[in-house]
Chain A
């Protein structure tokens, strides 16, 4: 028996006896490895093992949370969480009901990525790094690879006992070109739910990435202002995550009367062609899981259907307070944090417009591709493209320096006037919220066209 199995047995007894409205515990055991390069030299290679857990108590609407690495004196830890919850609680506890569940969800992959020999991982990364290094005009490169395998035990005072395993692989490469004091970079991010194959055979893409970073040194910067913008599936996926996904997280909405009013179900947010979904129930993506970190089964949730707001993402508490069904979206990056409302796999459903038709009638616009970053303040969002081109008279024209796009979610969703037929899911991103980052998620979309999008520039 491993240490978390021992501890979970002891905790199950303690939770049963706890004098609280509700209590849960989460124990984790994980292994991971990482390899990073800077330039041609391997910078860091390491292995990590971690064991830890937490207990969370709910008393009169107030939460107490205690996390730890040591499994000694578990009764004291349970007590401490209960005392904290009592100090906080002053209302009525409300949680959406879920069935007590006893289940075990083993990891389904063929090969645990952490146990793949380091020599094999290093060999692959060496190949990629060599491709970047021998590209003319390249100054240097950075590569970051991480993998992990995690076993989690979730137990609750209601009698749930859920064991789950998951694995994760993430790779980010960047080629950096420099000339005359100018520096430009192009990156590539990939990930998978523990499938190492997902980051193999990228030699062609890596070469193309390196070549593009050199091209950027002589590319012009776009003039700032409003443009018609076409986003590729990767960037449109980041857009839907930042611009709308975060706004669908109910923890920001449920106590805010004004916002609840804006986010009334049934309200029109976009054209009838717009459908937005979050689904942890999709198989084998980085944001996929069977149960969330409150033991709620994963669901497919329509957020927008035919342009209308029809749903949002919930924890058990936000669901109860908004009198809506729980969606299984309470997630924590690790045992050090309580679960909060998060996305899983978020995407725009495909429409029927071809890419050629989408750009055909654009006189002057921007084609923005590839992910560099994104953030949101709920109303306003910004996200940056790794690649950008002018569109002139219906044709892709000159390469531009990377662009940053910004907008107001409420008007921008209305300004989407074409949705492509080529949905792709991207798994290269990690999501940050509060102190919890990076959480594995997937985003996706077909090509989309947005009118009147604000672009930063000279």
Chain B
């Protein structure tokens, strides 16, 4: 790593080397049976240089390819964006607990046992259901070095387990599922299986909804499948800088219901999205995005922040092997004062959305979503009466979030990147097959 940096410094004004090594083991169950064990050892090396004031960038899979990666970065720097930022000088980082050394020593046999523990109750509850289950664990090590003396690094452990079930009856297919992740070993399978069993119970009966505007509750999984993508795009500093975020010019203005508060927080202990610094070596921080309905801030990396005349929020992420770009680490929607049960009781006729399929294939930038209810339930007179099908739910989050009927006190982590309560909206467009 030092070698690549030294070489790069000879040909460029500034340079930064970013190295991730990861080791992962995954136990995979297919059709209710243990099917495959999979391990990965992975190294990726990224070099970013500033040469002639411009950014050059190259990546490879081995620290030994010193000349190649430097040459590639130099070639791209002829065309790269003008660098408006300075690489971080030595800095201090917050303490973020993200390593549990006991993850590494969880035996494969124990992971296999967790899979059996998930599949057992589900197949007993619903004979004929076909389950896939995955249990994975691993460690990630990140190191960043730059020519201004900045250096950062951390290790992280992660563990996750999840189950998906498919029940096919004639041509009807029901999909249920739940997962949980942590930097600690996840050894209690009950929260996951309880959630799946509840979905199966609620789906036992069928119900139909009329095509009109109806009150709708999005469960935490439902929020992730429908509402998250437009929010993530809207608060991305780069979308804002481009003028493509509908709330980009609304800083300090009330845009949402005053019940809504939202922030990004990579410092929560033992969450898989947490980290002491971002992928550029900027210290992590909690960034408020919406405070009681008012737009508070956007998410930035170094370059975007410099272009926008602000500071990085520590959200520089190298998602797809490219240069760092702003991305959330863990979106958190503040809890409200009601409960999921009270929301249901409040509805005369309405819907509960657990999974909306294809919702983010719409005009996400404009805040729109439209999807097929993959898993959702009809509510009649305060009671869930059954599962709905052949139903589409569409909306615009900017219109919907102006008036939120309620947020629950219960909050849940979804997929390690979102913490949210149940969200209740008074009227959402529903179309159904007649």
Query: Which chain A residues have a beta carbon within 8 Å of chain B's beta carbons?
Result: 34-36, 38-39, 41-52, 62-70, 80, 84-85, 87-88, 90, 118-119, 122, 139-140, 176, 178, 181-185, 224-226, 251, 255-256, 258-259, 262, 336, 338, 372-375, 377-384, 401-402, 404, 406, 408, 410, 452, 454-458
Whether the pair B76, A47 counts as a contact (CB closer than 8 A) is yes
Q: Which residues of A contact B244 (CB under 8 A)?
A: 139-140, 176, 178, 183
Whether the pair B394, A458 counts as a contact (CB closer than 8 A) is yes
- CB nearest to B37 among chain A residues: A84
Interface of B is mostly: mixed
Whether the pair B363, A402 counts as a contact (CB closer than 8 A) is yes
Across chains A and B, which 6 residue pairs bring their CB atoms closest together, nearest first?
A224-B431, A373-B361, A382-B358, A255-B31, A84-B37, A46-B57
Interface of A is mostly: strand
Whether the pair A377, B246 counts as a contact (CB closer than 8 A) is no
Residue B205 is within 8 A (CB to CB) of chain A in the complex: no
Whether the pair B60, A375 counts as a contact (CB closer than 8 A) is no
Whether the pair A51, B173 counts as a contact (CB closer than 8 A) is no
B278-286, B364-372, B402-410: which lies at the A interface? B364-372
Complex Cα gap A379–B211 (Å): 21
Residue B120 is within 8 A (CB to CB) of chain A in the complex: no
Whether the pair B65, A258 counts as a contact (CB closer than 8 A) is no
Q: Which residues of A contact B360 (CB under 8 A)?
A: 373
Q: Among the listed B69, B243, B358, B366, which residue makes an inter-chain contact with A383, where contact means beta carbons less than 8 Å apart?
A: B358
- CB nearest to B23 among chain A residues: A68
Complex Cα gap A408–B69 (Å): 49
Residue B78 is within 8 A (CB to CB) of chain A in the complex: yes
Chain B CB within 10 Å, residue with most, of A46, A49, A65, A458: A46
Take A380-B374, A454-B431 as given contacts and tell me if A258 and B246 are in contact as well, using a CB distance cutoff of 8 Å: no
Complex Cα gap A367–B171 (Å): 28
Whether the pair B34, A454 counts as a contact (CB closer than 8 A) is no
Whether the pair A68, B37 counts as a contact (CB closer than 8 A) is no
Residue B149 is within 8 A (CB to CB) of chain A in the complex: no
Whether the pair A50, B60 counts as a contact (CB closer than 8 A) is yes
Complex Cα gap A48–B75 (Å): 12
Q: Which residues of A contact B389 (CB under 8 A)?
A: 380
Whether the pair A39, B242 counts as a contact (CB closer than 8 A) is yes
Shortest distance in angstroms between B45's beta carbon and chain A's nearest beta carbon? 10
Q: Among the listed B58, B130, B393, which residue makes an inter-chain contact with A47, where contact means beta carbons less than 8 Å apart?
A: B58
Shortest distance in angstroms between A214's beta carbon and chain B's nearest beta carbon? 14
- CB nearest to B360 among chain A residues: A373
Q: What are 13 contact pairs spanning A and B, CB under 8 A?
A: A39-B242, A42-B80, A46-B321, A47-B59, A49-B60, A84-B108, A258-B170, A377-B357, A377-B372, A404-B361, A410-B171, A454-B432, A457-B394
Whether the pair B36, A62 counts as a contact (CB closer than 8 A) is yes
Q: Among the listed B79, B108, B173, B394, which residue makes an inter-chain contact with A378, where contact means beta carbons less than 8 Å apart?
A: B173
Take A44-B81, A183-B246, A379-B171 as given contacts and tell me if A62 and B35 are in contact as well, using a CB distance cutoff of 8 Å: yes
Chain B CB within 10 Å, residue with most, of A183, A379, A455, A458: A183
Whether the pair A70, B43 counts as a contact (CB closer than 8 A) is yes
Complex Cα gap A51–B61 (Å): 6
- CB nearest to B21 among chain A residues: A69
Whether the pair B365, A176 counts as a contact (CB closer than 8 A) is yes
Complex Cα gap A259–B69 (Å): 50
Shortest distance in angstroms between B260's beta carbon and chain A's nearest beta carbon? 18
